Amino acid sequence: MELRPSEEQQQLIDAYATLYAKESSSGRVRAAEPLGFDPNLWSQLVGMGTVSMAVDEVHGGWGASMLDLALVAQEHGRALGSAPLIEMLVACRLLARVGGVAAGELLGSALAGDRLVAVALRPPRGGVARLVPAGAIATDLVVLHDRDLVAVPVGDDRVVPENVGSMPLADIPLSGSAMAAAVTLSRGEDASAAVDAALDDWLVLTANALAGIARRSVQIGVEYAKDREAFGQKIGGFQAVGHRLADCATSAAGAELLAREAAWAASEEPDRFAELAAMAFAFAAETARDASDAALHFHGGYGFMLEYDIQLYYRRARAWANVVMSPAAACQRVADRRYGPRGAP
Amino acid sequence: MMDFRLGEASDELRAEVRAFLEERVTRELEEQVYRSGVSHDPEFTRALVERGWMAPGWPVELGGRGLDPIEMLVIGEELRFADAPTYGIGTTIMVATVIRLAGTEAQKSEIIPKALAGEIVMVLGYSEPEAGSDVAAAATRAVRDGDEWVINGQKMFTTNAQIGDYVFLLTRTNPDVAKHKGLTMFLVPMDQPGVEVQAVYTLSGERTNITYYNDVRVSDAWRVGEVDEGWTTMTVALATEHAAGFAAAIERLLVEAEAWAAEAVDDDGASRLDDGAVRETLGRMAIDLEVSRLLQRRVAWMAEAGVPVTAEGPMSKLFSSEALKKRAQEIVEIVGPDALRSYFDPTAPSHGILEYMLRHSVGTTIYAGTSEIHRNMIAQRGLGLPRTR
């Protein structure tokens, strides 16, 4: 057992912590609202080769492990990065996995920074891919359509809804003109398996980002509780405050360990990866939700004011955790992985 | 390289311990422990001694096997998963550890060989009627009389006192100083006038005791550590305790719950394993098991890697005991009325283990420091918050 990141991984963490401290301050996060996209942060991330980490050398990347990606995602979550980091990592891995000429070309332009690819992880409804993460800024959408996995250019008919997490989401109609330009990447069972694998990737990376949100929320809550006085003492000295923060810190530590373990399992215990990814997501989502709530609540009325940063965490903890799948649905997914789908013999 | 596996040597040790326990923890032994409420069995203890697993973390030259914290964790996980009768062994070795580290040469040569041979049982006399979580408020008095001390007082939860040879007693020797500073520890032979044991039965079925001490005379030779330094002496053992937690109890709960779900059908004959609520409950239990395991194994890993442990130990105990209690309650509700059937009803689901866990889990959030005590430790040591009250 070794729970410390390697020296190289620590350097990776430090490098991204430095980048996010500079390019994703709370002022920058606010400035990027309501769309939730900071082009400068994104170009810095692309420039550092972050997207290229997603795929191996054969596909034009430099083949980082899922655990490396997870460590970056934790920093992304801690700083509430206004950039489609997880979405693009998931999309590039999906394109590399399905292979073929069309996917290869799209992957090449994505790695070069020429195109921004979003994946619809939920099946479209009524001919619309709804609330697609990064859909508001994507040039291309990868989506299951009539049991085929297709890539379509995203047109001007997309609708960008304001949302609680200031995420660059979009409802993207799969209109006739869009589908006329669609390129088929994969068909039938391969297609749905590819989206399912992309969902595992999204769950594990988002789990790590949410673990980052949880840790930072606890930190913000603790800092405030050490500083704020009421009834003649620091409020952190009241058990009603200290005990709840202790519970949050405990869950946050567990969320980080589990999120890292799940990412580690992608290469080291592949049989357990899908189960652990769903576990990590469900636990990190509920932990980030509870920790950001506790930290906000202990600010009293100030926590309710937009001026304080904790509300930024509170909103994203909820949005990132529910945009694709609820924690409860992830628990069902854990059961699916352990016992087979419902109705299995 | 980060690695979440415990390692091959640990896996082999686990298989060895599990095979031993499958053979030794028979249905008869389980039933005997269940009926008597006594988590100790001389024959099982002898078998453990033969395998060298009484104090496996001790150095070989002192009668142990020199196992590292990760290997100790593995043995601990397996003993708890099997619910083996080790409570008496646990307290005996804890006291023996204090004697080893803080006792006199005479105490060491008298006590340690017998303790490691499983020939004596030593029990803990810490809590009192008016001093539970606030254990340093102990009022049991020890007054010097020449080469002897005279002890008067009362202890709560002296588990296994009815079969105990010695009680490791926390006493007040100086009432005029701050409460942590006037305490002294004694190893008191129980077979003597003035020591009285009264049975107390608990929600889990475990038998514990109140013990009374009326003018009990104990030689100064049985004092462990310095006079008025009892707090230091008592906490010596705590520093050697790694990785307390209940992950393996959650694992047992999950295994039993999954076995139930695989067989059970609802009134319409449909498998309960196809019921979404059942699946979510089992999924949540599996998640809590994974988190509890990681928090507990992290403490063992830190001890092994020489990383200083601050709040990580309390986090492991707090999270796993609270999760065990919550999930045991949940599964009983999900199973439905049949889950109320107890151990002795042959039709009880999972041999009544779910019903037992419902009661057993309650104690885990109380003994060895309540959840509130652990939250205090996390808040102060881990988060640097002011002392809470």
Nearest CA in chain A to B277: A332
- pLDDT value of residue A21: 98
Rg over alpha carbons for chain A, rounded to the nearest Å, is 20
Interatomic CA distance for residues A73 and A51, integer angstroms: 12
Instruction: Please state, in angstroms and as integers, the Cα–Cα distance from residue A282 to each residue in A203, A278, B69, B239, following that order.
Output: 9, 6, 30, 35
Strand partners, B183: B172, B229
Instruction: Please state, in angstroms and as integers, the Cα–Cα distance from residue B81 to each residue in A159, B33, B85, B303, following that order.
Output: 54, 15, 11, 22
Interatomic CA distance for residues B114 and B111, integer angstroms: 6
Nearest CA in chain B to A237: B388
CATH topology of domain B122-238: Butyryl-CoA Dehydrogenase, subunit A; domain 2 (2.40.110)
Whether residues A3 and B298 touch (CB distance < 8 A) is answered with: yes
In chain A, the number of structural domains is: 1
Task: Tell me the H-state helices in B144-275.
Answer: 230-240, 247-263
Taking the CA of residue A105 and the nearest CA in chain B, the distance in Å comes to 34
Interatomic CA distance for residues B114 and B45, integer angstroms: 12
Whether residues A257 and B294 touch (CB distance < 8 A) is answered with: yes
B318 vs A: CB within 8 A: yes
Residues in chain B within 8 Å Cβ distance of A269: 4-5
Helix, strand, coil distribution of chain A in percent, nearest 5: 60, 10, 30
Query: B129: which 2 tokens?
Result: 């009627």
Task: Respond yes or no: is residue B241 known to be catalytic.
Answer: yes
Provide the CATH number for the domain formed by B8-85 in this structure.
1.10.540.10
Query: How large is the average pLDDT for residues B200-226?
Result: 97
CA atoms in the 13 A half-sphere facing the CB of B29:
18
CA atoms in the 13 A half-sphere facing the CB of A249:
29
What is the number of residues in chain A?
A: 345
- pLDDT value of residue B243: 65
| Domain limits, CATH 1.10.540.10, in chain B | 8-85
Domain assignment of residue A328, yes or no: yes
Domain assignment of residue A120, yes or no: no
Mean pLDDT of chain B: 95
* Closest CA relative to residue B278, chosen from B336, B323, B334, B340: B334
- pLDDT value of residue B389: 65
Interatomic CA distance for residues B69 and B67, integer angstroms: 7
Taking the CA of residue A279 and the nearest CA in chain B, the distance in Å comes to 6
Q: What is the DSSP letter of A175?
A: -
pLDDT of residue B132 exceeding 90:
no
Residues in chain B within 8 Å Cβ distance of A2: 1-3, 301, 305
Domain assignment of residue A185, yes or no: no
- pLDDT value of residue B365: 96
For the four alpha carbons of B287, B293, B295 and B301, in that order, the dihedral sign comes to: negative
Q: What is the DSSP letter of A5?
A: P
Query: How large is the average pLDDT for residues B155-175?
Result: 97
Q: Read off φ and ψ for residue A123, nearest 5 degrees.
A: -65, 145
Choose among B7, B279, B372: nearest Cβ to A1: B7
- DSSP E strand boundaries for chain A: 117-119, 128-132, 140-145, 148-153, 170-173, 183-187, 229-230, 233-234
Query: A39: which 2 tokens?
Result: 């082009």
| Domain limits, CATH 1.20.140.10, in chain B | 242-382
Interatomic CA distance for residues A209 and A196, integer angstroms: 20
- pLDDT value of residue B368: 86
- DSSP E strand boundaries for B101-225: 122-125, 141-145, 148-155, 166-172, 183-189, 195-201, 207-219, 223-224
Give the CATH architecture of domain B242-382. Up-down Bundle (1.20)
Choose among A265, A328, A339: nearest Cβ to B273: A339
pLDDT of residue B239 exceeding 70:
no
* Closest CA relative to residue B102, chosen from B182, B185, B189: B185
Contacts of A85 (CB under 8 A, 6+ apart): A45, A50, A72, A73, A76
Interatomic CA distance for residues A97 and A278, integer angstroms: 20
Nearest CA in chain B to A7: B1
Taking the CA of residue A314 and the nearest CA in chain B, the distance in Å comes to 21
pLDDT of residue B388 exceeding 90:
no
Domain assignment of residue A246, yes or no: yes
Whether residues A243 and B372 touch (CB distance < 8 A) is answered with: yes
Q: Is the ipTM of this complex over 0.95?
A: yes
Whether residues B295 and A254 touch (CB distance < 8 A) is answered with: yes
Distance of CA B327 to the CA centre of its chain: 20
Domain assignment of residue A70, yes or no: no
Interface A-B: count of C-beta contacts within 8 A:
166
Interatomic CA distance for residues A132 and A88, integer angstroms: 12
> Could you list the mean pLDDT of each consecutive 10-residue stretch along chain A, which spans 345 residues?
97 98 98 98 96 93 94 98 98 97 96 96 95 98 95 96 98 91 95 97 98 98 97 96 98 98 98 98 98 98 97 98 97 97 81
Residue pair A337/A280 in contact by the 8 Å Cβ criterion: no
Name the catalytic one among B16, B241, B258, B304. B241
Residues in chain A within 8 Å Cβ distance of B315: 249-250, 253-254
Q: What percent of chain B has pLDDT over 70?
A: 98
Which CATH number does the domain housing residue A304 bear? 1.20.140.10
Q: What is the DSSP letter of B168?
A: E
Taking the CA of residue A256 and the nearest CA in chain B, the distance in Å comes to 10
Interatomic CA distance for residues A121 and B244, integer angstroms: 41
Q: What is the DSSP letter of A200?
A: H
Residue A312: give the domain boundaries. 193-339
Contacts of A270 (CB under 8 A, 6+ apart): none
Taking the CA of residue B221 and the nearest CA in chain A, the distance in Å comes to 43
Choose among A67, A257, A276: nearest Cβ to B298: A257
Residues in chain B within 8 Å Cβ distance of A248: none
Choose among A67, A225, A269: nearest Cβ to B2: A67
Nearest CA in chain A to B387: A237
Whether residues B282 and A233 touch (CB distance < 8 A) is answered with: no
pLDDT in tens, B64-121: 999 999 999 999 999 999 999 999 999 999 999 999 999 999 999 999 999 999 999 9
Whether residues B385 and A236 touch (CB distance < 8 A) is answered with: yes
Confidence of residue B259 (pLDDT cuts 50, 70, 90): very high
pLDDT in tens, B48-62: 999 999 999 999 999
Choose among B283, B379, B387: nearest Cβ to A335: B283
pLDDT of residue B240 exceeding 90:
no
Query: How large is the average pLDDT for residues B262-275?
Result: 95
Range name among A276-285, B189-198, B366-375 with the lowest pLDDT average: B366-375
What is the number of residues in chain B?
A: 389
- pLDDT value of residue B241: 64
Domain assignment of residue A1, yes or no: no
